[in-house]
Amino acid sequence: NAGVTQTPKFQVLKTGQSMTLQCAQDMNHEYMSWYRQDPGMGLRLIHYSVGAGITDQGEVPNGYNVSRSTTEDFPLRLLSAAPSQTSVYFCASTRQGGTEAFFGQGTRLTVV
């Protein structure tokens, strides 16, 4: 039981490049979400999903896309990376009812 797995752990992108951050969970949780963490800002919600085929925007969705084709996977796509997207990204999964969110170890992304 691995919990929530994020890949890669570190990534450097050039401005304008695209990439996908991977997130997978093996707990059969219905809810999954993506957050970004910036110094002094806490964690802010980017996108979330309450089930396969269902996604919605959070507080800071611009510049990011998500899809949820399976219960296990919830990738986050950066369409055209910008320096403002330099951040640490966390994926989380939660059982329906919201009793506890389990977080991945994070992806540290630098856009130059």
Partner 1 sequence: AQSVTQPDIHITVSEGASLELRCNYSYGATPYLFWYVQSPGQGLQLLLKYFSGDTLVQGIKGFEAEFKRSQSSFNLRKPSVHWSDAAEYFCAVATRDSGYSTLTFGKGTMLLVSP
Chain residues binding partner 1 by CB under 8 A are 31, 33, 35, 40-45, 48, 50, 58, 90, 92, 94, 96-101, 103-106
Residue 7 phi, psi (nearest 5): -140, 145
Candidates 34, 26, 28; CA nearest to 1 is 26
β-pairing verdict for 107-111 and 10-13:
parallel
51 sits in which H/E element: strand 42-51
How far apart are CB 6 and partner 1 at their closest, in Å? 9
Comparison of 15 and 38: residue with beta carbon closer to partner 1:
38
Comparison of 44 and 77: residue with beta carbon closer to partner 1:
44
How far apart are CB 13 and partner 1 at their closest, in Å? 20
How far apart are CB 30 and partner 1 at their closest, in Å? 8
How far apart are CB 15 and partner 1 at their closest, in Å? 25
Phi-psi label, residue 28: left if phi above 0, alpha if psi -120 to 50, beta otherwise: left
Comparison of 62 and 96: residue with beta carbon closer to partner 1:
96
Whether 35 and 109 have beta carbons less than 8 Å apart is answered as: no
